[in-house]
Amino acid sequence: MMADDPIPTNDADPAGTTTAFDVAAAVRAGTVTAASLVERDLAAIAAREPELHAFNLVLADRARAEAAAVDALVAAGNDPGPLAGVTVALKDNMCTHGVLTTCSSKILEGWKPPYDATVVTRLRAAGAVVIGKTNLDEFAMGSSTENSAFGPTRNPHDPSRVPGGSSGGSAAAVAAGFSRVSLGSDTGGSIRQPAALCGVVGVKPTYGYVSRYGLVAFASSLDQIGPFTTTVADAALLLDVIGGHDPMDSTSIPQAQPSLLRAIEQDVEGLRVGRITDLPAGADDDVVERLELAFDALRDAGAKIVDVRVPAFSFGLTAYYLIAPAEASSNLARYDGVRYGLRIESPDTNAMYSATREAGFGEEVKRRIMLGTYALSAGYYDAYYGKALKVRRLIADDFDRAYQDADVLLTPASPSVAFPFGSKGDNPLAMYLCDVYTIPTNLAGHPGMSVPFGTGADGLPVGAQILAPALGEPQMFRAAAALERAMTKELAR
């Protein structure tokens, strides 16, 4: 972890300010200061960050300055915004003006973007306080946050296990209480899978729901920014702030979206929840058991459980690992040592390109660049990439048919609870299978979210994944809120 100044250790812990809603309400009412809340979170970081390594960079000085600005607005009788004083951690692939942005890769060494990502601008306009940049699998390529150039992030529930990936640092930061909320990016499950393993709420919105301007690209047709939070309401609040059209992103959805905070006020009476009967096997027994209890909970809340089929679901993994690497091979070609980041001096330009990329990229990134370049090469384009695009269309069509009979679908978010470090690192296919239940949604461009729903093996968190059609966030959040209420009742017994 890098820090721009020393992190304090104090006992500031204002009562009743656990969630983003609590924080914003207390700060806006003037009953607690944003400054005291920042000091509380910085103290939490000081206590466990050396063990967990959720951050690549802690912005203590900047966070204090932003908190002071929020408090000054309150003192002057002004409203700082719906996220007043809420600390947020940003995945380190989101541009922050004048602040190191690394994508957890050596190749971006020393790079400070000249602008903020749109989501960062919107967070600050809403009164949020950016507390740091979080660790990730290099360029968001991985499912365990073991592929970072700066070392792995550990799961707050059991530091001998992974937090998931690629947004493992963002998930761990919220689970450990380092920040009230965080942002991650999801290309094939990189928000939902770590959310499940860390026991927090994680949301991948509809493609285009949240601006990608300022998100360092992995696979441009798949990437989406979304929140990690401790509650469904906080996730709705955060998406209401960062969502919406952005003219700086040509893929941004132009029409306004309804408030998700209003959606979670509705119950699930009559909501049709689909059970995918041809879902790929492979989930552990403890995960399957919790999923069945989630179906029961929604049924008890008034939802109707219906059987649906998504035949092409099982092809998602294969199609993804042709499409995503192909896009990555193109996007990552810009890192050549000429314009920014690492540069290895060499006798000539071609040698410099080769030496820089060899030293700057990690093994997983190199593996995917080579796979993607091969899939796009002459003679193989139609056989591999072209066929993968056809499978992508089949997946989207199968989902569309399923959503004629169901309003949302329910699946596991991850096939297992958090696994030990090193248990899958030598077997790329085993690691790729961690995203078998999340990838198809990215290929279709639809929303999905993971909601904590109890524990499985070794008392570790299990996440239930709720899927919905494009722009189906309102019904998805209704189902998520119902699961959260059921879980609250279960814990109270």
On the question of pLDDT at 11 being above 90, the answer is no
The residue annotated as part of the active site, out of 36, 148, 170, 190, is 190
- pLDDT (0 to 100) of residue 16: 63
One domain, residues 258 and 299: no
Is 166 noted as a catalytic residue in this protein? yes
Percent of the chain at pLDDT > 70 equals: 97
| Predicted confidence (pLDDT) per residue in 122-178, tens digit | 999 999 999 999 999 999 999 999 999 999 999 999 999 999 999 999 999 999 999
| Predicted confidence (pLDDT) per residue in 464-477, tens digit | 999 999 999 999 99
| Predicted confidence (pLDDT) per residue in 109-118, tens digit | 999 999 999 9
Kindly state the tokens that stand for 84: 């007043």
- pLDDT (0 to 100) of residue 156: 98
- pLDDT (0 to 100) of residue 14: 56
One domain, residues 222 and 189: yes
- pLDDT (0 to 100) of residue 425: 80
**What average pLDDT does the chain have?**
95
Closest CA to 194 of 145, 160, 159: 145
One domain, residues 259 and 276: no
Q: How far apart are CA 439 and CA 280, in angstroms?
A: 12
Q: Which of 246, 263, 280 is the last residue of a domain?
A: 263
Closest CA to 56 of 131, 163, 142: 131
| Predicted confidence (pLDDT) per residue in 298-352, tens digit | 999 999 999 999 999 999 999 999 999 999 999 999 999 998 899 999 999 999 9
| Predicted confidence (pLDDT) per residue in 361-373, tens digit | 999 999 999 999 9
Using the Cα atoms of residue 139, residue 141, residue 143 and residue 149 in order, give the sign of their dihedral. negative
Q: Which of 263, 297, 315 is the last residue of a domain?
A: 263
One domain, residues 11 and 107: yes
One domain, residues 249 and 318: no
On the question of pLDDT at 482 being above 50, the answer is yes
The residue annotated as part of the active site, out of 104, 166, 329, 450, is 166
DSSP bridge partners of 89: 132, 182
- pLDDT (0 to 100) of residue 107: 98
The boundaries of the domain holding residue 74 are 2-263
- pLDDT (0 to 100) of residue 426: 83
Q: How far apart are CA 147 and CA 164, in angstroms?
A: 11
Is 190 noted as a catalytic residue in this protein? yes
Is 346 noted as a catalytic residue in this protein? no
Average pLDDT over residues 88-94: 98
Number of structural domains found in the chain = 2
Query: What CATH number corresponds to the domain at position 480?
Result: 3.90.1300.10
On the question of pLDDT at 259 being above 70, the answer is yes
One domain, residues 165 and 238: yes
Q: Which of 263, 280, 304 is the last residue of a domain?
A: 263
On the question of pLDDT at 3 being above 90, the answer is no
In the sheet where 55-58 sits, what is the strand order? 2-3, 55-58, 129-134, 87-91, 181-186, 224-229, 201-204, 448-455, 461-467, 408-412, 272-276, 304-308
One domain, residues 466 and 438: yes
One domain, residues 190 and 293: no
One domain, residues 206 and 226: yes
One domain, residues 24 and 65: yes
One domain, residues 331 and 198: no
Beta strands in 285-407 (DSSP E): 304-308
The residue annotated as part of the active site, out of 36, 91, 104, 450, is 91
One domain, residues 174 and 307: no
| Predicted confidence (pLDDT) per residue in 23-50, tens digit | 999 999 999 999 999 999 999 999 999 9
- pLDDT (0 to 100) of residue 311: 97
